[in-house]
Amino acid sequence: MRALVFIVVALALPSGALAYSDGSTFARDPSVDTTGGGGGIYFTGSPRQHGLDCAVCHVGGPTDIEVEISALLRGEPEDLFGLGYEPGGLYEIQVAFAEDRLAPEGGCEGAEDEPCDINAFAIELLDGQAEPAGIVCPEEPTGDGCGGCRNHRTQGTLTDAECSVIVADAFDGVTFKWRNGVTSYSFFWRAPTDAVGPVTVYVSGVDGRGKESEDGEITTYRNDGVVTAQRTIGDVGIGGGSCQSGPGPAGAWLLVLGLLGLRSRRR
């Protein structure tokens, strides 16, 4: 099998919010903090998010950011988007920014002496009815349902209560530190136990630029790079040449006619 990597260049899309380039402001109440807060809001650009993406809040920056996605099945490279998913299959998916283009301009909260370079995204996988398909988990789940997701936050990623959305906010729940400068994250997707048809991956992300000051106010959302993309995972394929099936109705009638012809020739 060959590894799958696809690169998406975001164009001028109707645009959402995901995270702030200083990740510590992401969860703040936007109506209280004068320094600006995200209120924990994220968007993926999906129908469930009304098409909103990170550019709702992250404005003024480049929109030609590239993101790469690759997939593994049982530790081996898997052409998930080309071959389709196996019902109940467990896939490790990695999302990586093709490059970290924007130079940090200031320090992160709690680490003012080092550049703040937080790159983040939100991603979800939906079926044709815009409903969550399978579950997502920061670590390998132990079961099929959301209860099998032992840790909902780890190493820079977290999932919601329904295990339907993965947010990479760069905060490491193990070390309790920001993963400054990290450009790639991985998570696990357990495909639906029953085939639900094509599944679409929706992702929106931010190439964080870092803090800067405008008129004495610290802003952490302007001039960040934004990428929004979607990709469809094909429906489950039916096996190739090794698969055989019995004759259908037409084949059965041909078999009967052949036997009658053979019988008449023997008379």
At residue 64 the predicted structure's pLDDT band, cuts being 50, 70 and 90, is confident
260 vs 87, which has greater pLDDT?
87
**Over residues 4-22, mean pLDDT:** 34
The domain locations on the chain are 6-266
Indicate whether 56 pLDDT > 80.
Answer: yes
**Over residues 241-251, mean pLDDT:** 33
At residue 129 the predicted structure's pLDDT band, cuts being 50, 70 and 90, is very high
Q: CA-CA distance, 41 to 60, in Å (whole number)?
A: 19
Q: How far does CA 108 lie from the centroid of its chain?
A: 26
Average pLDDT, the chain: 71
Q: How far apart are the first and last CA of the chain?
A: 57
pTM: 0.71
**Which two structure tokens, joined as six digits, stand for 205?**
């992300």
Q: What does DSSP assign to residue 54?
A: G
36 vs 193, which has greater pLDDT?
193
Strands (E), the chain: 6-9, 66-73, 76-77, 90-97, 107-108, 111-115, 119-126, 135-137, 153-154, 157-159, 165-168, 171-172, 177-178, 184-190, 199-207, 212-214, 217-219, 225-233
Indicate whether 36 pLDDT > 70.
Answer: no
- Give the per-residue pLDDT at 210: 64
**Over residues 89-95, mean pLDDT:** 90
HEC letters along 219-267: ECCCCCEEEEEEEEECCCCCCCCCCCCCCCHHHHHHHHHHHHHHHHHHC
The 10 Å Cβ neighbour count of residue 17 is: 26
Q: CA-CA distance, 5 to 31, in Å (whole number)?
A: 40
Q: CA-CA distance, 36 to 202, in Å (whole number)?
A: 26
